A and B are shown apart, each in its own frame.
Chain A
Amino acid sequence: EDQVTQSPEALRLQEGESSSLNCSYTVSGLRGLFWYRQDPGKGPEFLFTLYSAGEEKEKERLKATLTKKESFLHITAPKPEDSATYLCAVQAVRAYGDYKLSFGAGTTVTVRA
Chain B
Amino acid sequence: SAVISQKPSRDICQRGTSLTIQCQVDSQVTMMFWYRQQPGQSLTLIATANQGSEATYESGFVIDKFPISRPNLTFSTLTVSNMSPEDSSIYLCSVLRQGKSEAFFGQGTRLTVV
Contacts and interface: CB of A to CB of B under 8 A. Distances in A.
Interface of A: 31-32, 34, 36, 41-46, 49, 51, 87, 89, 91, 97, 99-106
B108 A105 contact: no
Interface centre among A43, A45, A102, A105 (most CB of B within 10 A): A43
Interface string B29-71: 0010100000001111100100000000010000000000000
B43 A103 contact: yes
Interface residues of B, dominant DSSP? strand
B43 A44 contact: yes
B45 A101 contact: yes
Interface centre among B4, B33, B103, B104 (most CB of A within 10 A): B103
A106 B102 contact: no
B31 A44 contact: no
